[in-house]
């Protein structure tokens, strides 16, 4: 079997891009790698998602859904799904993150555009086959990452079976108490690192979408949480409140209090998951850089746990993680 570099070269040669200059793009918190290919004035992005660790078919599926709805998902110019290789449209370098760093005054413009895109997505999405459900089993498994990785990193010991059962039951009860709402397509990583500012495109097309291969069918509050409670960036509370109101005004049939309960619950679940993921990235994958965001994630988590509907979960966190334990784990020796 050819090695990975030979597979990539064969794929690029078949598309006429084997002589292109190749420049690595930003690292991903997974096994995926990205390169920009340049050949004269033309450019493409190579997604290298090596099996069995990665599977490009979900990306292809969601890309088709988003493009079919008129959103700016990268055009797929070529694919070899078995090899885990895609040749994508190049959106350039203007991520929301870089645009905000260059011009902080564009913050309201960019965030409003992203929220309006979510409104259009949630209003226009009907159904999709072969997209997994964001069900209780998946939500619980994600929340358990805090117990599996962050808890022992802070306490110096594994959580007891009884504590694990209690933690699981609390999440189960909190989600069971949440009134139902019509599900939608949830992109899951809807934040400034995965959004592009395509200034030359009109309307909602100016918001380019990346990294949506983990999309699921679930509650519409989740992507709003991802955007406004960004693990890697502080979002001003007044702007977040304004945007949440903007979203709710687009759905007059939705009870605002119920939606805010969902926002807090999914926010707490997401922050618990991220505390575990960022610790795992350090301990297992040798990527300590993500630990620098732990304190921000705790702030988001504390704010969400303050919702009255999450009182039982708040009690558990107060007991197991009092203020002196809401800290950043020391980087592991493997990551140093």
Residue carrying the six token digits 């291969």? 213
Say how many Å lie between the first and final Cα of the chain, rounded: 34
Domain boundaries, the chain: 4-88, 96-325
What global pTM score does this model have?
Answer: 0.93
* Res 150: pLDDT: 98
Reply yes or no on whether the pLDDT at 29 is more than 70: no
Cα 9 to chain centroid distance, Å, stands at: 30
96-325: what CATH class?
A: alpha beta
> What DSSP element (H or E) covers 333?
none
Long-range CB pairs of 305-310 (<8 Å, 24+ gap) are: 305/264, 305/268, 306/264, 307/260, 307/261, 307/264, 307/265, 309/174, 309/177, 309/178, 309/261, 309/264, 309/265, 310/174, 310/264, 310/265, 310/268
- Tokens representing 85? 């290789």
Cβ(256)–Cβ(248) below 8 Å: yes
At 28, the pLDDT band (50, 70, 90 cuts) reads: low
At 127, the pLDDT band (50, 70, 90 cuts) reads: confident
Phi, psi torsion values for 267, nearest 5 degrees: -65, -45
Percent of the chain whose pLDDT exceeds 90: 92
Instruction: Express each pLDDT in 270-306 by its tens digit.
Output: 999 999 999 999 999 999 999 999 999 999 999 999 9
Q: Rounded distance, CA 75 to CA 63, Å?
A: 8
* Res 148: pLDDT: 98
CATH number belonging to the domain at 4-88, selected among 1.20.140.10, 3.40.50.1100, 3.40.228.10, 3.30.200.20: 3.30.200.20
Phi, psi torsion values for 47, nearest 5 degrees: -95, 120
Reply yes or no on whether the pLDDT at 336 is more than 60: no
Cβ(62)–Cβ(186) below 8 Å: no
Reply yes or no on whether the pLDDT at 260 is more than 80: yes
């Amino acid at each position: 079997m050819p090695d990975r570099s030979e597979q990539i070269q064969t794929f690029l040669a078949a598309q006429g891009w084997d002589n292109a200059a190749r420049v690595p793009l930003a690292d991903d918190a997974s096994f995926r790698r990205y390169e920009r290919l340049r050949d004269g004035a033309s450019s493409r992005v190579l997604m290298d998602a090596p099996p069995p660790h990665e599977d490009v078919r979900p990306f292809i599926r969601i890309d088709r859904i988003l493009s079919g709805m008129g959103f700016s998902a990268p055009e797929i110019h070529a694919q070899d799904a078995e090899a885990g290789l895609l040749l994508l449209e190049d959106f350039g370098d203007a991520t929301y993150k870089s645009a905000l760093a260059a011009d902080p005054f564009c913050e309201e413009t960019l965030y409003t555009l992203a929220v309006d895109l979510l409104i259009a997505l949630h209003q226009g999405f009907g159904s999709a086959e072969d997209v997994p459900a964001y069900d209780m089993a998946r939500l619980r498994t994600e929340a358990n990452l805090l117990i599996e990785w962050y808890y022992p990193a802070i306490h110096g010991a594994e959580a007891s079976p009884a504590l694990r059962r209690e933690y699981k039951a609390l999440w189960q009860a909190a989600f069971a108490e949440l009134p139902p709402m019509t599900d939608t397509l949830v992109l899951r990583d809807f934040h400034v690192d995965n959004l592009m500012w395509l200034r030359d495109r009109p309307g909602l097309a100016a918001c380019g979408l990346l990294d949506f291969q983990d999309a699921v069918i679930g509650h519409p509050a989740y992507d709003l949480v991802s955007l406004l409670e960004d693990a890697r960036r502080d979002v001003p509370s007044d702007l977040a409140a304004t945007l949440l109101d903007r979203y709710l005004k687009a759905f007059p049939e939705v009870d605002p209090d119920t939606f805010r309960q969902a926002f807090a619950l999914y926010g707490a679940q997401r922050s618990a998951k991220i505390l575990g993921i960022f610790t795992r990235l350090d301990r297992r994958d040798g990527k300590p850089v993500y630990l620098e965001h732990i304190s921000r994630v705790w702030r988001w988590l504390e704010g969400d746990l303050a919702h009255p509907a999450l009182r039982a979960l708040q009690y558990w966190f107060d007991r197991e993680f009092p203020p002196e334990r809401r800290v950043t784990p020391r980087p592991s020796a493997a990551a140093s």
